[in-house]
Amino acid sequence: MHPPVRLVAIDVDGTLLPTFSQAVSARTAQALRAAQDAGITVAIATGRRTAYTVPLLEGLGLRADMPLITSNGAVTRTLGGDAIDRCHLEARVARGICGLARSFGTVVFTFDRPGRGELVLEDLPQAEGQISLWVEANRNAIEVVVPLEKALPDGEDPIQGMATGSIEKMKKAETALRASEWQAHCECVRTEYPARDLSILDLLPPGVSKGWALERLALRLGVDRKETMAIGDNWNDVEMLEWAAQGVLMGNAAMELRTMAKMRGWKQARPNDEDGVAVVLERLVAQQKAVAGVEVKL
């Protein structure tokens, strides 16, 4: 029997958001607010960078101190913009990765700075062909540098790198990176979208993941892993689902992940298009109220 949940970390794409939508549903927004009102710390844990995450949550009536784990764990800030945690990928490692990864697809590096140059790539037409919606949403932050290595001199350490292309190409890219001299200096985290034959390979500082960041956040908040829930749908959520004692996999996750969930004791939520996150949070709030009611009677 797990103790009541005090901290819940929620992925964004394929989890918090409905498919092909950039807006949180009314029911899910209400569930997020209700969870916060019940004393549960609700954290977002996403592969998106902070500037690409905040607009989704603005105007929903959420607390300014809501933690946002972004860039797959490399940066943690509050919704109000206060810094909590951050980690960098060494520039020399990033330069080495460029030469290896560019043959497999588009390569992008993210810097923790506002405005143009926060995202750097060298082939905009190729990126527009593969991730056109992402390019359009982030165009004001993108700077084109050719070759990409010029954007990565010593001392200009990015937060993370990203390679994107077809699922098959990104699997090959991951294999090549794990077999390279950079393997010990870089963490590879893969996300897949089979319906679009699109895969993203995030390149992070060693040891960094959503699970790593969630553990550090829980320690900062004084929350035990048994009091922590994680909700996700993709491969880059596995580490946080494993670290949290109460893992919840979305019903729209790939079959391989759903099989993994059964083996590892993760619960399964309804799909993202059926407000799966809201259902989970509503149940948590009801449980909190029931426990509080028993305590008052006692």
Q: What's the CATH number where 230 sits?
A: 3.40.50.1000
Clarify whether residues 222 and 81 are in a common domain: yes
Q: What is the pLDDT of residue 132?
A: 87
Percentages helix, strand, coil for the chain, rounded to the nearest 5? 45, 20, 30
**Domain-located, residue 159:** yes
- Residue that terminates a domain, selected from 204, 236, 262: 204
Q: Worst-scoring range by mean pLDDT, 130-134, 153-157, 220-224?
A: 130-134
Clarify whether residues 109 and 176 are in a common domain: yes
How far apart CA 213 and CA 146 sit, in angstroms, is 33
Which is more confident, 290 or 44? 44
Clarify whether residues 138 and 165 are in a common domain: yes
Clarify whether residues 96 and 188 are in a common domain: yes
Clarify whether residues 194 and 219 are in a common domain: no
pLDDT at 298 over 50: no
Domains in the chain, number:
2
Number of helices (H) and strands (E) in the chain: give both, helices first.
10, 14
Pairing of strands 119-121, 83-86: unpaired
Cis, bond preceding 147 (omega within 30 deg of 0): yes
Q: How confident is the model over 2-55, as pLDDT tens digits? A: 789 999 999 999 999 999 899 999 999 999 999 999 999 999 999 999 999 999
- Identify the helix (H) or strand (E) that includes residue 67: strand 67-70
pLDDT at 243 over 50: yes
Clarify whether residues 147 and 284 are in a common domain: no
Quick one: pLDDT band at residue 1, thresholds 50, 70, 90? low
| The amino acid at 204 | L
**Domain carrying residue 134:** 91-204
Clarify whether residues 197 and 232 are in a common domain: no
Clarify whether residues 49 and 98 are in a common domain: no
- CATH number for 158: 3.30.1240.10
CB of 203 within 8 A of CB of 152? Answer: no
**Domain-located, residue 1:** no
**Domain-located, residue 235:** yes
Averaged pLDDT, 263-274: 97
Quick one: pLDDT band at residue 137, thresholds 50, 70, 90? confident
Which is more confident, 126 or 284? 284
**Domain-located, residue 25:** yes
Clarify whether residues 272 and 192 are in a common domain: no
Quick one: pLDDT band at residue 293, thresholds 50, 70, 90? low
pLDDT at 242 over 50: yes
How far apart CA 114 and CA 18 sit, in angstroms, is 28
Instruction: For residue 114, give the nearest of 64, 150, 75 by alpha carbon.
Output: 75
Long-range contacts from 260-268, C-beta under 8 angstroms, 24+ separation: 266/241
Q: Does the pTM exceed 0.75?
A: yes
Residue 38 neighbours by CB under 8 Å, 6+ apart: 284, 285, 288, 289
Cα dihedral 246, 250, 256, 257 sign: negative
CB of 188 within 8 A of CB of 239? Answer: no
**Domain-located, residue 2:** no
- Residue that terminates a domain, selected from 178, 204, 230: 204
Clarify whether residues 76 and 222 are in a common domain: yes
Measured in residues, the chain has a length of 298
What does the radius of gyration of the chain's CA atoms come to, in whole angstroms? 19
Clarify whether residues 99 and 79 are in a common domain: no
- Residue that terminates a domain, selected from 146, 176, 204: 204
pLDDT at 212 over 90: yes
How far apart CA 279 and CA 281 sit, in angstroms, is 6
pLDDT at 296 over 50: no
Instruction: For residue 192, give the nearest of 213, 179, 173 by alpha carbon.
Output: 173
Clarify whether residues 130 and 197 are in a common domain: yes
**Domain-located, residue 240:** yes
How far apart CA 198 and CA 177 sit, in angstroms, is 19
